[in-house]
Every structure is written in C-alpha cells, then in structure tokens.
C-alpha cells in the first residue's frame, strides 16, 4: 500500500466506487487520508437502559423484544415502534417513515443505539436514534466524514481504519526547526488524532498543527510574491502637482467629502516616489469610478498609460463608454480590449497600445494576456477586485516597469482578513454616498398576491418613464425544477410589457452589447437577466430591481444587485420575490428590508453563514483550504505568518534542503504560473 496508489488498489473498490470518491476530489490513498471528518460525534456516554436520562445523548444496547409496524400517521408517515430491553429495563424506540425497518430488523436482534431519550406520557422514549448491530457498533468519539451519493459513513470509516499504516509515510512538509519552534505535534500523531481522536486535548493539538501548516503554505506563498513585488525599484512617479484639478473642475458634480479624502490619499501616493499600492473600498454606488478617473487623468497627464481591468464584458464596456466621454475632450485616447473581439480589431488595439497611441486601456481579463504590451504603463486599476485571483492581480501589474496599483472593491473586508490578503497595501474607504440618494426601499414577499402587486407596481413605474431590472438565478428551465428561469420570466413578462428584453451570459457579446445599449438609451423598459448584471452596471433611470427566487441568492449578492438601482435622483425600489419559503430566506429578506448598509449586511451574513463560507478563500481568489478557517483561526494565522516571515528571512528563495517540501507544496497550492523567482 503506497500513498500515490489509486483507490482501486484497495480490495472492494472498483471503477464505479472510485467515481463516487472522485466527486469528493479523492483519487489516491493519500487524498483519502487527508480527507478529514467534518465533525465528530461523542459516543462515549455508554449507559444501561435504566441509567438513561431525558435530554441527554447516550449510547445503549439491547435486544429487540417487539416490533410494531404502526399504521399511517399524520402526513402518511409510517411509524415503526420497537421495544428494546437489557438486564436493567426496557425502552421504546420510534421511527417515522420507516417501513423498511420491518424488513431489516428482527425480534431477538442485539442492537446498539445512539440518541437522545425524551419524556412522552411519563415514559422515556427515543425518537429516530442511529443504530447498528452491536457486533459492528463503535463507541468513543466517532468521526463524521463529508460524503457524496454512493458512499456511506460506515464505508468511509472502514477505509480510513484500513489506511492507518500509511500515516507514517505521509509527506511531512514542515522542517524540524519549524516543528520545534512552534511546538507542533508530528504529522503521524496529527493524522491519527484527526481521524480517530482519543481525547479533546490530542485532537486540538492535531488540528492546530494541520491548520498551522495550511496557513504557513498560504502565508509563505503570499509573502514570496510580495517580496517579488517590492524588489523592483521606484514606482511610476506622477510629479506634476495639481494636474488633476483641471479634471475635477470639469466633473458634473462636486466630490463628496469621502471622495475628496481618498482622492487626496491617492494623489499623494502618485506624486511620491514609492509606487502606490492601495485598496479602495466603498459600497456600491459610492462613486469609486469617479475617483479612479481622477487618478487616471493624473497619470496620463504625467506621461503614463493607464489600464483598468473589469470582471465582466458588460462592466468593461460601460467603463469604456464613460471614459471615452470624459477623457476625449482632453485629447486622451481610450482603447478597449476583450476576449470576444475580432482578431483584426484586437491587433489594431495591441499595436496602438505598444506604440503609446492609446493612453487608457479598458478591458476584461483579456488585458493580462501575454501579447498585451504597453509602451509606458504607469497606473493599473482593478475594478471589483474580489472577482479576480491573486495571480491575475500580479500579472496585470507585471505589464509595467513598476506601476502604481489601485484595486477597488465593493465587498467589505474585515480588517484582519485584509491584512492577510492585501498585506502590504494601504487602504482607503469611501464611507459616504453622493448627495440626493434616497435609500432603496426594499419589499420582501413570498406569495402570489405579493408577486402580482410587484408587477403592478412595475407597470406604474414604466408609465412614469422608468426602467426595471428583473434578475433570475437561472438561464433556462433545464437547470433546475423549482426556480424560475430567465427565459420563462421573459416569456411571461413580454406578454404584458411590450419592451422587455432578455440578457444572459451565454449570449454572444455583440447581442449583449446591443441590448445593453438599448437599455442605456431607454429603448427597453424591462431587462430580464441572470446574475451577470451583478457588478457595476449604471443606468440611473432604472428604479426597480426585482429579484425572482430571491431564496437562491446570498445576502452579499442581493446587496450588489440592489445597488443597480437608486443611482439617480429617483426613489428606487427592490422587490425580493421568495419562491420557496424557508427560515433562512425569510431571515435574509428581513435583513435586506431593514438595511442598505453593505458593512452591516456583511456582518449579518457572517452571523448567518458562519465565517467559513463568507470569507471562503475562493471568493478572494486564494486557494481553498481544508481545515483552516480565516475568521475562526486568526491566532493560528498570526503564528503562521510570523513563522513564514522567519523562514523567508533565513532563506528568501526557499533554497535550503529542509524547505523543499514546503516549497513544493506552495507551488502546488498556488499553481504553476505563480511567480516564485525572486
Ligand atoms: P461605484 O463604482 O462605487 O459603485 P460609481 O462610481 O459607479 O459607483 O458611481 C455611481 C453613480 O454615482 C454614478 O452615476 C456617478 O456618476 C455618480 N456619482 C459619483 N460621484 C458622485 C458625486 N460626488 N456626486 C453625485 N453623483 C456622483
Ligand atoms: Mg463600480
């Protein structure tokens, strides 16, 4: 048995089973031993039947004396009752909806149960306990693994037990120095106690080690890439003082106080000799783009080129249109680049860019392709930063000698997490909305009459000359049974509202552009869309955002969507139509109705979902982690960061023999194109 052997090398696992495991990302024996339990069940409280107490989880064994397949009860649930006894007494065990039990359990069987007894008519009873034949039953602390269809908990545990001898061979990536300095347990011990914990103390020690290890890989990787960024000399300096004022004076509105403040911060970065490396945070609609424009103007005036990368084509083309209008009057040339452009068009843009004839480039991630070359890139801006990965951010920056960097995001990031993700960045926050904005009124409804009222309201708004977004979670019906598709909603609305259009991600770019242009020009009243309009779109005349099947959207997403309206002077509205009512959906609806503050909503989201999901690394373009949880394990994170610093101070290129396993893991985690050459 070797670590890299495939699962099928185990007796009893054929190609079919292997496919099930593959769904969990498990291909080899090594993958399996690094698949850790989700949670554990404490089955150490073994009791005789007479010792059982109400409301206390316990394990007990006994013989089946009576099985009574009861009649139908309530909503057609078939109740099966059993009487279980041991030397000390007997107790009733009840299963609902369990006709199958009559076939698998027989009188005289000896079973072990795990459950919580409850009082019922002054007698103890256990409802729906877990049970096993006593011969197979496990007590102690029982691991509960993540599963997928076709794999049972019992099977998983059996396999894990079988693989115990491999623990000693598992790849240890930590050097002895790291283990000693941080008082970590060894890998074999950690694996043993994560799968089969003997007690809480040993389990916690083991978990600490594995979380530490994951964070160390992450931190060392990030720090190496940052060191890489720092080594490149002075930044693109924009020394002409006050050059931006001309642009600010020409803007159609005065800056808000918050915009003024962050503009000053950015300008002083740009004028300084050190390159700017700044994160600009601000809620949807707070006016980040305006600030970005000022920075662009300043850079171009100082003789540099600027680039702005946006996460979607729609958003990129909107920025492009806006920039053309703002900058052409100053004689600045704006170029546009996306993946879906024709080769000829693309070539022309690339040539002009390399020759320095384009001052400002706007585009999607197409702008980081290798063939894109700038003559003199001095400012790099990433919009809706959280949509891009660390790698993409770095690659964009490498298009210039040592350009100034501004990343913008509407996703509130807690301070602690920002330190990890953007370690050496300065942070600016726009914490104020432009004047005249009335908060969007939000209405949440989960029944047919509410939905009808919503579209009646939509009709009145259209009559007043306003425009409407309707967002659905899906494109077409084949994707799921219980949610309305964009297509379906479109067909329905078109009957009632003549000027309705549909837009979704699977459409050709030219079609999308055409529809967006029409919506912009007010030729379309209702735009039915999938989430693709989530970020950035700006049509101030749109006053209603209808979210169909709102239960399928997370809070952060709904907040972003709602930010598409209320961008002009008109009172705007957001309707959350809940199709499939659940406690969670209603709770989210309530939060949305009560607040329009992105930071508050993010906090509530955190409470509902738990930190793991919301600050999940995936959203921020970082590699996924198995056990580590940024928000919950902050102390471990700090320890790992310090250790990574220590390691890199001693061995900046990770060349030492003892650091090779760690380096290999870093490369594996961050991917091949992650720049590690210092
Ligand atoms: P963000 O990118 O932060 O979501 P935008 O930059 O798209 O926000 O700005 C949203 C809207 O507010 C735009 O229509 C923009 O023209 C307008 N706007 C920006 N700054 C101001 C301001 N100081 N006063 C009035 N309107 C503003
Ligand atoms: Mg924006």
Q: What is the DSSP string of 207-229?
A: HHHHHHHHHHHHHHHHHHHHHHH
224-233, 399-408, 419-428, 612-621, range with greatest mean pLDDT: 399-408
Residue from 523, 543, 580 nearest 457 by CA = 543
Range with top average pLDDT, 97-111, 234-248, 537-551: 537-551
Q: Which ligand has its closest atom nearest to the C-alpha of 316?
A: 2
What are the two backbone dihedrals, phi and then psi, of residue 272, each rounded to the nearest 5 degrees?
-75, 170
Ligand 1 atom 15: residue of nearest CA: 287
Among all bound ligands, the one having the nearest atom to the CA of 322 is 1
Element (H, E) at 26: none
Distance 382 CA to ligand 2 centre (A): 10
- Answer yes or no: is pLDDT of 675 > 60: no
Give the pLDDT band (50/70/90) at residue 83. Answer: very high
86 vs 89: CA distance, rounded Å:
6
Q: How far is CA 370 from the centre of its chain?
A: 28
Q: Distance, CA 578 to ligand 2 centroid (Å)? A: 27
User: Mean pLDDT throughout 89-94?
Assistant: 94
**Which of 558, 385, 586 lies closest to 469, judged by CA?**
558
Q: Which residue among 251, 252, 255, 285 has the greatest number of ligand 1 atoms within 8 angstroms of its CB, and so is best to mutate?
A: 285
What Å distances lie between residue 450 and 492, 545, 626, 649, CA to CA?
17, 15, 43, 62
Ligand 1: residue of 247, 256, 290, 362 to mutate (most ligand atoms within 8 A of CB) is: 290
Does residue 109 surpass a pLDDT of 90?
yes
pLDDT attached to residue 391: 66
Pocket test for ligand 1, best of 287, 535, 543, 566 (most atoms within 8 A of CB): 287
Give the closest residue (by CA) to ligand 1 atom 27. Answer: 434
522 pLDDT tier (thresholds 50, 70, 90): very high
Distance CA 19, CA 15 (A): 6
Question: Which of ligand 1's atoms lies nearest the C-alpha of 255?
Answer: 23
pLDDT band at 496 (very low <50, low <70, confident <90, very high): very high
What's residue 360's pLDDT? 98
Q: What is the pLDDT of residue 80?
A: 87
Helix-strand-coil split of the chain, %, nearest 5: 45, 20, 35
Residue 610 pLDDT more than 50? no
**Given strand 467-471, what is the order of strands in its sheet?**
441-445, 573-577, 542-547, 467-471, 526-529, 500-503
User: Residues 51, 52, 53, CA angle at the centre, nearest 5°?
Assistant: 115
pLDDT(276) > 60: yes
Measured in Å, residue 284 CA sits from the centre of ligand 1 at 9
Per the CB < 8 A criterion, the answer to whether 476 and 551 are in contact is no
- Whole-angstrom Cα distance, residue 634 to residue 272? 34
Ligand 1-lining residues (CB < 6 angstroms): 253, 255-256, 259, 282, 284-290, 410, 434, 538, 540, 567
User: Rounded distance, CA 22 to CA 390, Å?
Assistant: 27
| Cβ-count burial 590-605 (b if 16+ within 10 Å, e if not) | ebbeebbebeebbbbb
Question: From ligand 1's centre to the CA of 28, what distance in Å?
Answer: 52
Cβ contacts of residue 65 below 8 Å, gap of 6+? 82, 83, 84, 85, 90, 107
Tell me, in angstroms, the distance from the centre of ligand 2 to residue 311's CA.
Answer: 11
**Per-residue pLDDT at 620:** 42
Determine the pLDDT at residue 624. 58
From 431, 434, 539, 569, mutation site for ligand 1 pocket: most ligand atoms within 8 A of C-beta? 434
pLDDT of 233 over the 90 cut: no
Kindly give the distance from the C-alpha atom of residue 416 to the centroid of ligand 2, in angstroms, as a whole number.
Answer: 24
Question: Which residues have beta carbons under 5 A from ligand 2 (an ion)?
Answer: 536
Give the single-character DSSP code of 184: P
**Ligand 1 atom closest to Cα of residue 430:** 3
Give the angle 450-453-455 at the CA atoms, nearest 5°: 115
State the distance from the centre of ligand 1 to the C-alpha of 567, rounded, in angstroms.
7
Q: For residues 77 and 75, what is the distance between their CA atoms, to the nearest angstrom? A: 6
pLDDT, position 149: 87
* pLDDT tens digits along 526-577: 999 987 665 557 789 999 999 999 998 888 889 888 988 988 889 999 999 9
Per-residue pLDDT averaged across 655-676, rounded? 74
Range 596-602 average pLDDT: 79
Angle at 525 between CA 522 and CA 530, to 5 degrees: 110
Provide the 8-state DSSP code for 330: T
Q: In the predicted model, is pLDDT for residue 76 greater than 70?
A: no
| Structure confidence by residue, pLDDT tens digits, 14-32 | 999 999 999 888 999 999 9
Q: Average the pLDDT over 623-636 and give the result.
A: 66
Question: What tens digit of pLDDT does each residue of 434-445 get?
Answer: 888 888 999 999
pLDDT (average), residues 39-49: 89
Strand pairing report for 542-547 and 573-577: parallel
- Quick one: pLDDT at residue 466? 96
Question: Which atom of ligand 1 lies closest to the CA of 292?
Answer: 6
284 Cα: distance to centroid of ligand 2 (angstroms): 7
Which of 54 and 612 is assigned the larger pLDDT? 54
* Residue 1 to residue 349: CA distance in whole angstroms: 57
384 or 611, greater pLDDT: 384
CA of 115 to the centre of ligand 1 (A): 57
pLDDT reported for residue 677:
31
CA of 175 to the centre of ligand 2 (A): 45
Atom of ligand 1 nearest to the CA of 253: 24
| Whole-angstrom distance, CA of residue 112 vs CA of residue 130 | 8
Ligand 2 mean position, distance from CA 490 (Å)? 27
Measured from the Cα of 289, ligand 1's closest atom is 6
Q: What is the mean pLDDT of residues 635-657?
A: 86
Per-chain mean pLDDT for the chain: 85
Q: Choose from 63-67, 147-151, 418-422 the range with maximum mean pLDDT.
A: 63-67
- Higher pLDDT, residue 312 or 391: 312
Query: How far, in Å, is the centroid of ligand 1 from the Cα of 566?
Result: 11
Which pLDDT score is estimated for 674?
46
Instruction: Indicate if the pLDDT at residue 498 is higher than 90.
Output: yes
Whole-number Å distance between alpha carbons of 82 and 113: 12
| pLDDT more than 90, % of the chain | 50
Return the ligand number nearest the Cα of 290: 1
Residue nearest ligand 1's atom 26 by CA: 434
Distance CA 307, CA 399 (A): 10
pLDDT score, position 323: 97
pLDDT value of residue 420:
63
Nearest-CA residue for atom 24 of ligand 1: 434
In ligand 1, the atom with minimum distance to the C-alpha of 286 is 3
pLDDT of 523 over the 60 cut: yes
Please state, in angstroms and as integers, the Cα–Cα distance from residue 93 to each residue in 61, 64, 96, 133, following that order: 12, 10, 10, 15
Q: Report the C-alpha gap between 17 and 19 in whole angstroms.
A: 5
pLDDT at 221 over 60: yes
pLDDT digits (tens, 9 = 90+) for 123-152: 899 998 988 888 878 788 888 898 888 888
The ligand placed nearest to the CA atom of residue 434 is: 1
Instruction: Determine which residue's CA is closest to atom 10 belonging to ligand 1.
Output: 285
Q: Give me the torsion for CA of 176, 182, 188, 189, rounded to 10°.
A: 140
Instruction: Quickly state the pLDDT bin for 621 (edges 50, 70, 90).
Output: very low
Give the model's confidence band at 159: pLDDT under 50 very low, under 70 low, under 90 confident, else very high: very high
Q: Do residues 157 and 138 touch, judged by C-beta distance below 8 A?
A: yes
C-alpha separations of 77 from 102, 127, 559 in Å: 14, 14, 41
Per-residue pLDDT, 135: 86
User: Which of 279, 289, 326 has most ligand 1 atoms within 8 Å of its beta carbon, as the pocket-test mutant?
Assistant: 289
β-strand pairing of 140-144 with 404-409:
unpaired
């Amino acid at each position: 048995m070797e670590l890299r052997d495939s699962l099928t090398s185990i007796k009893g696992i054929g190609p079919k089973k292997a496919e099930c495991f593959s769904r969990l990302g498990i291909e080899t024996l090594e993958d399996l031993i690094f698949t850790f339990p989700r949670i554990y069940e404490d089955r150490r409280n073994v009791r005789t039947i007479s010792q059982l107490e109400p409301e206390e989880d316990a394990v007990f064994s006994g013989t089946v004396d009576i099985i009574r397949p009861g009649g139908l009860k309530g909503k057609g649930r078939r109740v099966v009752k059993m009487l279980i006894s041991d030397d000390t007494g007997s107790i009733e065990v009840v299963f609902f909806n369990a006709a199958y039990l009559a076939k698998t359990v027989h009188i005289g069987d000896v079973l072990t149960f795990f459950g919580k007894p409850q009082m019922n008519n002054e007698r103890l009873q256990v409802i729906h306990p877990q049970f096993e034949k006593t011969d197979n039953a496990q007590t102690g602390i029982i691991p509960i693994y993540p599963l997928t269809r076709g794999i049972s908990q019992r099977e998983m545990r059996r396999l894990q037990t079988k693989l115990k001898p491999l623990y000693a061979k598992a790849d240890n990536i930590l050097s002895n120095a790291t283990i000693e300095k941080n008082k970590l347990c060894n890998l074999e011990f950690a694996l043993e106690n994560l799968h089969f914990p003997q007690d809480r103390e040993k389990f916690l020690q083991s978990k600490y080690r594995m979380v530490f290890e994951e964070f160390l890989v992450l931190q060392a990787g990030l720090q190496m890439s940052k060191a890489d960024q720092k080594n490149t000399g002075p930044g693109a300096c924009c020394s002409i003082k006050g050059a931006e004022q001309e642009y600010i004076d020409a803007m159609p509105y005065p800056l808000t106080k918050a915009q003024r403040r962050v503009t000053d911060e950015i300008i002083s970065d740009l004028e300084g000799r050190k390159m700017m490396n700044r994160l600009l945070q601000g809620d949807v609609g707070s006016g980040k783009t305006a600030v970005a424009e000022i920075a662009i103007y300043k850079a171009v005036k100082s003789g540099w080129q600027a680039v702005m990368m946006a996460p979607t084509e729609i958003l990129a083309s909107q920025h492009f249109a806006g920039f053309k209008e703002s900058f052409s009057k100053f004689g600045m040339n704006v170029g546009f680049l996306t993946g879906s452009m024709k080769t000829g068009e693309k070539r022309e843009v690339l040539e002009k860019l390399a020759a320095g004839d384009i001052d400002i480039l706007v585009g999607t991630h197409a702008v980081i392709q290798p063939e894109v070359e700038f003559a003199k890139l001095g400012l790099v801006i990433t919009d809706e930063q959280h949509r891009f990965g660390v790698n993409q951010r770095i690659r964009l920056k490498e298009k210039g000698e040592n350009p100034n960097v501004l990343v913008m995001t509407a996703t509130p990031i807690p301070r602690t997490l920002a330190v990890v993700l953007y370690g050496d960045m300065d942070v600016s926050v726009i914490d104020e909305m432009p004047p005249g904005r009335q908060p969007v009124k939000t209405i949440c409804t989960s029944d047919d009459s509410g939905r009808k009222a919503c579209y009646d309201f939509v009709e009145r708004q259209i009559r007043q000359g306003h425009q409407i977004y309707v967002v659905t979670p899906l494109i077409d019906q084949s994707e799921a049974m219980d949610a309305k598709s964009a297509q379906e909603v479109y067909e329905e609305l078109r009957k009632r509202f003549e000027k309705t259009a549909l837009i979704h991600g699977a459409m050709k770019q030219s079609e999308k552009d055409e529809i967006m242009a029409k919506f912009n020009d007010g030729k379309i009243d209702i735009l039915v869309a999938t989430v693709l309009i989530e970020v950035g779109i700006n049509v101030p005349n749109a006053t209603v955002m209808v979210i169909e099947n709102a239960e399928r959207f997370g809070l952060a997403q709904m907040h972003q969507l709602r930010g598409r309206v209320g961008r002009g002077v008109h009172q705007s509205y957001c309707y959350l139509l809940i199709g499939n009512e659940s406690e969670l959906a209603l709770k989210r609806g309530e939060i949305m109705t009560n607040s329009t503050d992105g930071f508050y909503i993010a906090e509530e989201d955190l409470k509902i979902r738990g930190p793991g999901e919301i600050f999940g690394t995936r959203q921020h373009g970082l590699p996924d982690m198995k056990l580590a949880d940024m928000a919950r394990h902050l102390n471990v994170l700090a320890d790992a960061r310090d250790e990574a610093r220590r390691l890199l101070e001693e061995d900046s290129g990770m060349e030492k023999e003892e650091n090779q396993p760690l380096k290999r893991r870093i490369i594996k985690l961050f991917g091949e194109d992650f720049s590690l050459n210092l």
